[in-house]
């Protein structure tokens, strides 16, 4: 239960951080490209790399803190950070082909899924 509360609290922090961060980036860069989410995805992936290495080197695991930061905060800030971590873990295990398939299929099928959902709702509301 403690871990679930840590994830929920971190999720709230991460979602709010993404909202304000993305909005600020859009103010700086303009609205012609989704700079806010683009920057959040890159920053979140960078931070996930830091978090993973820090927790690997801690003498005490601290699972609730790891869940708060990695799953909660960064998971809500961007799921792209977790996606990036999954790809790197596959590559580190020598599963380069699977990493490539996962990377391309995740993006491609997510876009197809979004388009299918939009098409379905357009039919429903037509």
The answer to whether the annotation marks 75 as part of a ligand binding site is yes
Whole-angstrom CA distances from 45 to 27, 40, 51, 125 are: 22, 8, 10, 37
What span, in angstroms and rounded, lies between the C-alpha atoms of 36 and 75?
Answer: 16
Per-residue pLDDT of 34-69, as tens digits, reads 899 999 999 999 999 999 999 988 888 899 999 999
Would you say 73 and 8 are in contact if contact means Cβ atoms under 8 Å apart? no
Residue 79 predicted with pLDDT over 80: no
Q: Is 31 or 68 the better-scoring residue by pLDDT?
A: 68
Q: What is the pTM of this model?
A: 0.78
pLDDT for residue 11:
97
Per-residue pLDDT of 91-122, as tens digits, reads 999 999 999 999 999 999 989 988 998 999 99
């Amino acid at each position: 239960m403690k871990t679930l509360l840590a994830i929920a609290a971190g999720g709230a922090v991460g979602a709010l951080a993404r909202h304000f961060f993305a909005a600020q980036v859009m103010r700086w860069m303009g609205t012609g490209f989704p700079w806010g989410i683009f920057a959040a995805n890159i920053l979140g992936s960078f931070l996930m790399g830091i978090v993973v290495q820090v927790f690997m080197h801690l003498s005490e695991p601290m699972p609730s803190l790891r869940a708060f930061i990695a799953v909660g905060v960064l998971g809500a800030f961007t799921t792209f950070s977790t996606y990036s971590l999954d790809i790197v873990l596959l590559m580190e295990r020598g599963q380069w082909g699977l990493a490539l398939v996962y990377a391309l299929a995740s993006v491609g099928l997510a876009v197809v899924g979004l388009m299918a959902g939009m098409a379905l709702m357009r039919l429903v509301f037509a």
